[in-house]
Amino acid sequence: MENSELRHIMLLKAKAAKKASRKLGAMNIEQKNNILSAMVAALQQNMKEILFHNGIDIQAAKEAGITATFIDRLTLTEKRVNNAINGIKDVILLQDPIGSVIEENKPSIDIDVKKIRVPLGVIGIIYEARPNVTVDATTLCLKAGNAVILKGGSEAINSNRILVKIIYDAGLRAGMPDGAIQFIDTTNRIAVKELLHLDNLIDLLIPRGNEELIKFIKTHTSIPILSHGKGLCHTYVDKDADIDMAVNIAVNAKCQRPSVCNAMETLLVHKDVAGKILPKLCKLYNNANVEIRGCEISKDIVNSINLATEEDWKTEYLDLILSIKVVNSLEDAIVHINKYGSMHSEAIVTNNKETADNFITEIDAAAVFVNASTRLHDGSVFGLGCEIGISTQKLHARGAMGIKELTTTKYIVKGRGTIRN
């Protein structure tokens, strides 16, 4: 396909999305929920077809020699599809954010001022690997009254194509405006570049992928961006931690699903409990085939640990690899996290309330966990139904992003013939 032809197609898709967004923004909650309910039924009815097309992508990824952790992010199972379906059901139960009053003021002059939530308009999602994003992102955008433009990675093209077809057809039958879901059905990378130029039609871009992708997008567009940054997450085991609790949390944070952004990449352990906990942990990590890279002190405690380098403290592995460092104090742990962390998810295990409070105050991250696994940083866990991503920036949203994060505000000012003197 010629670049000029692709540019024209992208423009038409964005214009159709903009037109549909006007209609979506005027829909009431019953109309939007009917559309989402139709999508639920369609996904349930087409489970085999979804898994079949996902299987094509998985086989192609294996033949291309793509890593096992990447394939895990790509893979859809019946359980994962059902999780996406349950996410839609949860979003249906959420109150409609559109039109809700955020603030209400009565100034000294004769006017009434309200600030309400309104849709953003058209949201572009650029993402890699995980086809469940297709469903989650569409669900949240529609509930918040936004049209969506989806550009998934080439490795998931068959999975995304069938998912979009199923939910789009179901949505149309239920009254969804034509054009509300736009899918960039090409593996041509030029499509992303063309998307970045449509600043007069797209109101927000949400990139989900590696650092190189996000950096490229930030430097090549004037469209506002809400980025899903990397997850270099830590767990700190304090000297006042319950050892059994700490073991369970540290194993879950690394091993439950190592290929995702809220998995732990570095374990910090206070020197007073390192001798107690590291032998237990390393045995469990070895059983789970985790490669361990640690500081010299940790290696003295467990000889099988490989010696870590400076680069390890900076690395988001997204794999069964873990860095371990023994620290002298809470302050040392905080300094390490704020230096190397990505401001995503950070955890402390301690029974000392003062220590926990200091950790909460001094750690700069989108989510801080006390006596809990970083793997819990998820929209569905937080009661958002599902999520469109986890923002590691500070404006305009931070952490797990649900429907409220896909809205903006509008002032409604009512006067009585009021003028300004």
Tokens at 268, concatenated: 């910090």
Q: Tell me what pLDDT residue 348 has.
A: 98
Backbone angles phi, psi at 414, to 5 degrees: -115, 125
Task: Please provide the size of the chain in residues.
Answer: 421
Model confidence at 227, in pLDDT bands (50, 70, 90)? confident
180 and 277 in one domain? Answer: no
Is the distance from CB of 350 to CB of 341 less than 8 angstroms? no
DSSP classification of residue 225: B
Residue 395 located in a structural domain: no
Residue by residue, DSSP assigns 148-182 as: EEEE--GGGHHHHHHHHHHHHHHHHHTTPPTTSEE
Structure confidence by residue, pLDDT tens digits, 205-216: 999 888 888 889
Say whether 87 sits in a helix, a strand or coil: helix
Task: Give a yes or no: residue 324 inside a domain.
Answer: yes
Confidence at residue 1, expressed as pLDDT on a 0 to 100 scale: 67
By percentage, how much of the chain surpasses pLDDT 90?
89
Going across the sheet that includes 181-183, the strands are 181-183, 147-151, 122-127, 204-208
pLDDT of residue 211: 82
- Does 144 have pLDDT greater than 80? yes
d(CA 315, CA 308): 11
pLDDT of res. 364: 96
Q: What is the pLDDT of residue 229?
A: 72
Residues 78 and 195 in one domain: yes
**Pick from 368, 378, 376: nearest CA to 343:** 368
173 and 207 Cβ atoms separated by less than 8 Å:
no
> Is there a contact between 203 and 211 (Cβ–Cβ < 8 Å)?
no
Of 117-131, 151-165, 265-279, 383-397, the range with the lowest mean pLDDT is 383-397
3-class DSSP state for residue 46?
A: coil
User: Based on the domain organization, do 277 and 408 belong to the same domain?
Assistant: no
**β-strands 181-183, 367-370 pairing:** unpaired
Q: Supply φ then ψ for residue 182, to 5 degrees.
A: -115, 130
Which tens digit of pLDDT belongs to each residue from 239-288? Answer: 999 999 999 999 999 999 999 999 999 999 999 999 999 999 999 999 99
- For residue 35, give every residue at least 6 positions away whose Cβ sits within 8 Å of its Cβ, in sequence order, or none: 142, 170, 171, 174, 175, 176
Query: What is the total count of domains within the chain?
Result: 2
Whether 322 is in a domain gets the answer yes
Residues 293 and 356 grouped into a single domain: yes
Co-location of 158 and 266 in the same domain: no
pLDDT band at 137 (very low <50, low <70, confident <90, very high): very high
409 lies in the same domain as 369 = no
- CATH number for the domain that contains residue 263: 3.40.309.10
Residue 346 and residue 271 share a domain: yes
Distance CA 65, CA 382 (A): 36
Residue that has been written with the tokens 């007073």 in this structure: 272
* pLDDT at position 230: 85
C-beta of residue 143 within 8 angstroms of C-beta of residue 161: no
Q: What is the DSSP letter of 106?
A: -
What pLDDT sits at residue 212? 86
* 220 and 296, same domain (yes or no): no
Give the tens place of pLDDT for each residue, 343-356.
Answer: 999 999 999 999 99
- We report the CATH number of the domain holding residue 52 as 3.40.605.10
User: Which own/partner contact pairs does 407-411 have at CB distance under 8 Å and 24+ positions apart?
Assistant: 407/97, 407/98, 407/117, 407/118, 407/119, 407/120, 407/144, 407/145, 408/117, 408/118, 408/119, 408/120, 409/102, 409/115, 409/116, 409/117, 409/118, 410/115, 410/116, 410/117, 410/118, 411/113, 411/114, 411/115
Helices 157-173, 29-45: inter-axial angle, 10-degree rounding: 130
Assess if residue 54 is contained within a domain: yes
Do 186 and 242 share a domain, yes or no?
no
Per cent of the chain over pLDDT 70 is 100
More confident residue, 350 or 5: 350
| 381 part of a folded domain | no
Question: If you ran DSSP here, which 8-state letter would residue 378 be given?
Answer: S
pTM metric for this prediction: 0.91
152 with 244, same domain?
A: no
Task: State how far the alpha carbon of 312 is from the alpha carbons of 74, 75, 266, 317, 323, in Å.
Answer: 25, 27, 9, 9, 7
* Residue span of the structural domain in which 290 resides: 233-376
Range list of H helices, 174-305: 190-196, 211-219, 243-255, 271-287, 296-301
307 plus 218 within the same structural domain: no
359 within domain boundaries: yes
**pLDDT, the chain, mean:** 95
How high is the pLDDT of residue 257? 94
pLDDT tens digits, one per residue of 62-79: 999 999 888 999 999 999
3-class DSSP assignment, residue 368: strand
Indicate the pLDDT class of residue 152, thresholds 50, 70 and 90: very high
Q: Are residues 158 and 276 in the same domain?
A: no
